[in-house]
């Protein structure tokens, strides 16, 4: 996987640099250790132990040339020690001990991304095991592979942080109690677990594409992880249309990343983006993946293929004014029927506003006002504010933008919403 260059200690507070590095590398560290200890909870604890070691040593000795390999090596050494100490792992040591001993974990040795992929896939499918509830599968994988905090996961789910924390704890205990194998399943079992895996990858990408909290709008490493996993799954399951649908959607979305922020990291709305900065290679990959989804589909398109088709409409429009909003509104209607959701309906309202005008769209948005899942969701008042502004209801629009700003947890989004609330609205 491709990742952002590691910050040097000179870039600021060493502890902040270490925390940033750990956030980027922790999924790989956990995945690699889980292959040894076969327990995701223990693997996460050992990864945290490696972080503590880094906090102790790096400020004194400097950040290693390859910090990810250092963290992985440290965690794996501790995992091997743990396996040795526990008598119940005696049989495991007899089987894999020679291989582990023969593998030199040099601190400064670059990690091989090809070795990591299999471990990440095993970790995804383990976290998505059917012994867990759907919500727990997604929350656990976001925590382990995405490196997200419980607050960020709660934002993705639109539920309380305590609920997410409880799901993660229960999920780890269940996996350990049931003795779930750390493996990629095959045959019917793999097909049955695929839907949850796709949802996990989708949520990981979304967190990277529009960070729920912090000072930056984008977290590129998460997008790269999700996109890489989607591509790997597409190769693994070439006859599954929704795998290609998700891959297509993420390719299209990722193609716009460079144009979504300005020189100072501020958000740039879709209508204001410089489309020459859209990545044409990723768009081409998205078109190819969508074609594969259509080619292997045997029935109506699924939710990811429909979202990919919507993204394709934006990708094919060389100017914002050329966007086929009527088709997008129709596709959102199909998506709402196929996979009902208040968020989908809110997106449909935006498309309707562009195709038919703000009046009909406002009626849709107002019907969503009482939805429990959208309580505290800043995009609801943001969309409503935009519609009111276009209808000339300036004072109401300002109030909606102010409310949206108060609900937004990402600083960049807050700044944009406050600016919209302060500007004269026509």
Alpha-carbon span 303 to 337, nearest angstrom: 10
Residue with tokens 């409880």: 166
Determine the pLDDT at residue 91.
Answer: 56
Alpha-carbon span 15 to 60, nearest angstrom: 11
Residues in the chain, pLDDT under 70: 1-14, 86-117, 156-158, 210-219, 221, 423, 425-426
Alpha-carbon span 85 to 102, nearest angstrom: 19
Determine the pLDDT at residue 13.
Answer: 65
Residue 52 to residues 22, 77, 238, 375, 382: CA-CA distances in angstroms? 10, 14, 42, 38, 41
Determine the pLDDT at residue 80.
Answer: 85
Determine the pLDDT at residue 246.
Answer: 98
Determine the pLDDT at residue 212.
Answer: 54
Residue with tokens 């939805």: 371
**Three-state SS at 340:** coil
Q: What share of the chain is helix, strand, coil (3-state, %, to 5)?
A: 75, 0, 25
Alpha-carbon span 51 to 33, nearest angstrom: 14
Residue with tokens 């502890």: 15
The token pair at 371 is: 């939805």
Q: 291-321 pLDDT, tens per residue?
A: 999 999 999 999 999 999 999 999 999 999 9
Residues 6+ apart with CB under 8 A from 240: 191, 194, 296
Per DSSP, helices labelled H in 38-112 are 40-61, 67-85, 90-102
Alpha-carbon span 114 to 130, nearest angstrom: 27
Q: 255-300 pLDDT, tens per residue?
A: 998 998 888 778 888 999 999 999 999 999 999 999 999 999 999 9
Can you point out the beta strands (E) in 253-351? Answer: none
User: What interhelical angle do 134-144 and 161-178 show, nearest 10?
Assistant: 90
């Amino acid at each position: 996987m491709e990742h952002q260059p590691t910050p040097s200690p000179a870039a600021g507070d060493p502890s902040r640099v270490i925390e940033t590095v750990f956030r980027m590398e922790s999924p790989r560290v956990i995945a690699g250790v889980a292959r040894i200890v076969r327990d995701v909870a223990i693997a996460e604890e050992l990864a945290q132990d490696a972080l503590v070691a880094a906090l102790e040593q790096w400020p004194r000795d400097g950040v290693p040339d390859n910090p990810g390999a250092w963290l992985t090596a440290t965690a794996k050494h501790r995992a091997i020690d743990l396996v040795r100490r526990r008598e119940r792992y005696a049989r495991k040591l007899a089987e894999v001990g020679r291989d582990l001993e023969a593998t030199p974990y040099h601190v400064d040795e670059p990690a091989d991304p090809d070795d990591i992929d299999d471990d990440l896939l095993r970790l995804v499918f383990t976290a998505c095991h059917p012994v867990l509830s759907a919500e727990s599968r997604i929350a656990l994988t976001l925590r382990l592979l995405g490196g997200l905090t419980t607050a960020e996961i709660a934002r993705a789910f639109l539920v309380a942080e305590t609920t997410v924390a409880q799901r993660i704890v229960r999920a780890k205990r269940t996996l350990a109690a049931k003795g779930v194998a750390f493996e990629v399943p095959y045959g019917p079992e793999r097909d049955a677990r695929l839907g949850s895996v796709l949802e996990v990858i989708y949520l990981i990408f979304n967190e990277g594409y529009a960070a729920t909290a912090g000072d930056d709008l984008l977290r590129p490493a998460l997008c790269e992880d999700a996109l890489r996993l989607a591509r790997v799954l597409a190769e693994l399951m070439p006859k599954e249309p929704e795998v290609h649908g998700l891959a297509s959607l993420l390719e299209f979305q990722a193609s716009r990343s460079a144009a979504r922020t300005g020189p100072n990291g501020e958000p740039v709305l879709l209508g204001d983006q410089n489309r020459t900065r859209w990545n044409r290679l990723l768009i081409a990959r998205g078109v190819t993946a969508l074609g594969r989804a259509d080619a292997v589909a045997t029935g109506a398109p699924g939710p990811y293929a429909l979202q990919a088709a919507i993204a394709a409409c934006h990708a094919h429009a060389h100017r914002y004014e050329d966007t086929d909003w009527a088709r997008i509104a129709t596709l959102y209607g199909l998506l709402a029927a196929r996979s009902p959701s208040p968020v989908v309906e809110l997106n449909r309202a935006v498309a309707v506003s562009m195709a038919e005008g703000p009046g009909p769209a406002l009626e849709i948005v107002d019907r969503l006002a009482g939805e429990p899942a959208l309580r505290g969701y800043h995009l609801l008042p943001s969309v409503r504010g935009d519609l009111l502004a276009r209808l000339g209801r300036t004072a109401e629009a300002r109030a909606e933008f102010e409310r949206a700003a108060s609900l937004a947890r990402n600083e960049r989004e807050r700044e944009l919403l406050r600016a919209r609330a302060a500007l004269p609205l026509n």
